[in-house]
Amino acid sequence: MTPETTTERQATAASTAPAIELKGISKAFGPVQANKDISIRVMPGTIHGIIGENGAGKSTLMSILYGFYKADKGEIWINGSRTEIPDSQAAIAAGIGMVFQHFKLVENFTVLENIILGAEDGRLLKPSLAKARRTLVELANDYGLNVDPDALIQDIGVGMQQRVEILKALYRQADILILDEPTGVLTPAEADQLFRILGRLKSEGKTIILITHKLREIMETTDTVSVMRRGEMTATVKTSETSPAELAELMVGRKVLLRVDKTPAQTGEVVLDIKGLTVIDDKGVERLRGVDLQVCAGEILGIAGVAGNGQSELLEVLGGYQGGTGEVRLNGELLDLTGHLSDGQSRRNHGIAHVPEDRQREGLIMEYQAWENTAFGYHHDPAYRAGLLMNNTAIRDDTTGKMERFDVRPPNPKLAAKNFSGGNQQKIVLAREIERNPDLLLIGQPTRGVDIGAIEFIHQQIVALRDQGKAILLVSVELEEILALSDRIAVMFDGRVMGERLPQDTDEKELGLLMAGITDTDAPHSVAEVEANLAKAASAEKRT
């Protein structure tokens, strides 16, 4: 872009109306005020970030803009004219396109079928499909959005699926694109690719609203940023004039430590010793191919890797609910990997505690109350028993104590697990596992879907456990988290450990290459090479 066109665009931007202007939007769900008197102006041709914790009301606000909900109060102005958006059809007609966090794609339809769904040109499909095919070629040329129109959605990776969502919006001639937590499911390389695409869209004059809770994305990609907290818009600032620390404080309402405070590790004896661990799943696919790892007392070993490269299977084998072959020793004692002692109960008796990756499916029973969830796995504890029956009062009292110590809010043991926020659910699981004083803590995705404030707390708890001389095996797809917490980092790719690094001697770039299966990290590598490798790994994931 030449300097002239830039000034030209700025000049037109200054003279034109905002692409979107919301005035005093309020929305309540029963007693919960999801949005309180929110006003916002988004200028055309800019990327505007909306940041806030889970439940701050970001998604509700965007759902109102997209016609999913009707605001109780307030006005929506699009390109300077007041617009009623009673349903999604009206939003689409107003030139608004939305890329949801959970894609709205039909898995067993082709890319092309998904794109025309709802935007067909007539009763018969053939002409619509032909037209979409032509348009797709144009869009690919204009924005660098390449997809295979005939591929089935279930056969392509998440990065590609997201591209289809963007294409869906562009096919409907959206000028305003809303992306809700777009990088939650993407690998670092895919996220970079997405931001390149967004940059391209912006330079073509599209307006983009980026909803995220990741400060780094806001700082790197947006022009302006609005911060939401508890349903209110607390600030709108130019991105260039703010800092991550300031944004975090605006989000949470207090100062937040973005960096994990920890002293160097005082490592002791080897606690966990894994040799040649191999896992073959039900379909005969080798998920772990001879993994060797050691974790010492007083140490956090972080496992980095793109999801689906064997990390989950590693946790499952160690947690006792997936068979495997090889040798795993805990404090020198051989663990039973396939026999009748390979279950969660035996593992707990050995001193292994497990915070599973998917807390809603493996860590908790969502319909059960907090105190019931606290007893799971430890229900044989004599303290929880009264003769043949469970001593419910003792469990509830114990849960109340745990909730206080782990700052679970609200501290009500009789509330069902599903009624806690993600962060508080995780704290319940963490309290259950950590307070058993395990020798080894397995912890997967400790802060997935957890607010900044709770992340800080959970990280502190993990480090505190380490400082008590416990061994910790941490699996996370968030590189930042791995780098911040780990004393040692192992990178997994396609069921193998590609290498180990010390956090102080490495960076995201090197780890990113290892995560893509490239071990000679000093040599130059093209983006295409990394993407090709990642695609290979992603197709491995698809096999499950």
Partner 1 sequence: MDYLTFIQLLDSTVRLATPLLLACLAGLFSERAGIFDIGLEGKMLAAAFFSAAIASLTGNVWIGLMAGIGASLLLSGLHGLASITFRGNQLISGVAINFLAAGMTVLIAQDWFQQGGRTPSLVGGARFEGITLPGADAMADTPIIGPLYSELISGHSILVYLAFAAVPLTWWLLYRTRFGLRLRAVGENPASVDTAGISVVGLRYAAVGICGILCGVAGAYLSTALQAGFVKDMSAGRGFIALAALIFAKWRPWYALWATLLFGLFGALETRPDVIEALIGMKVQGQLLGALPYIMTVVILAGFVGKAIPPRAGGEPYVKER
Q: Closest approach of Cβ 286 to partner 1, in Å?
A: 22
CB nearer partner 1, residue 117 or residue 394: 117
Distance CA 371, CA 366 (A): 12
Q: Closest approach of Cβ 61 to partner 1, in Å?
A: 12
Q: Closest approach of Cβ 22 to partner 1, in Å?
A: 19
292 touches 328 (CB < 8 A): no
Q: How far apart are the first and last CA of the chain?
A: 45
CB nearer partner 1, residue 61 or residue 474: 61
CB nearer partner 1, residue 125 or residue 394: 125
User: Which single residue is written with the structure tokens 């665009």?
Assistant: 9
Distance CA 460, CA 478 (A): 17
CB nearer partner 1, residue 126 or residue 340: 126
User: How many other β-carbons are positioned within 10 Å of the β-carbon of residue 264?
Assistant: 7
Nearest to 318 by CA among 193, 432, 475: 475
Query: What DSSP line would sit under 303-334, residue for residue?
Result: EE--TTSSHHHHHHHHHTSS--EEEEEETTEE
Q: Closest approach of Cβ 103 to partner 1, in Å?
A: 8
User: Which single residue is written with the structure tokens 């703010």?
Assistant: 242
Distance CA 76, CA 74 (A): 7
User: How many other β-carbons are positioned within 10 Å of the β-carbon of residue 380?
Assistant: 11
CB nearer partner 1, residue 132 or residue 479: 132
Q: Closest approach of Cβ 517 to partner 1, in Å?
A: 31
Apex CA 271: angle with CA 268 and CA 277, to 5°? 140
Q: Which amino acid does the sequence have at 220?
A: E
Nearest to 428 by CA among 455, 452, 444, 407: 407
CB nearer partner 1, residue 125 or residue 158: 125
Phi, psi of 9 (to 5 degrees): -65, -40
Q: Which amino acid does the sequence have at 522?
A: D
Q: Which amino acid does the sequence have at 517?
A: G
CB nearer partner 1, residue 108 or residue 468: 108
Phi, psi of 542 (to 5 degrees): -60, -25
CB nearer partner 1, residue 18 or residue 231: 231
The site for partner 1 (CB under 8 A) is made up of 29, 59-60, 63, 66-68, 87-92, 98, 100, 102, 104-109, 113-114, 116-120, 122-126, 128
* DSSP character at residue 208: E
* DSSP character at residue 184: T
Q: Locate 497 and state its tokens.
A: 């450990």
Q: Closest approach of Cβ 65 to partner 1, in Å?
A: 13
Q: Closest approach of Cβ 362 to partner 1, in Å?
A: 22
CB nearer partner 1, residue 102 or residue 340: 102
Q: Locate 166 and state its tokens.
A: 């963007």
CB nearer partner 1, residue 76 or residue 475: 76
Q: Locate 15 and state its tokens.
A: 């003279």
Q: Closest approach of Cβ 189 to partner 1, in Å?
A: 27
Q: Closest approach of Cβ 47 to partner 1, in Å?
A: 22
Q: Closest approach of Cβ 93 to partner 1, in Å?
A: 8
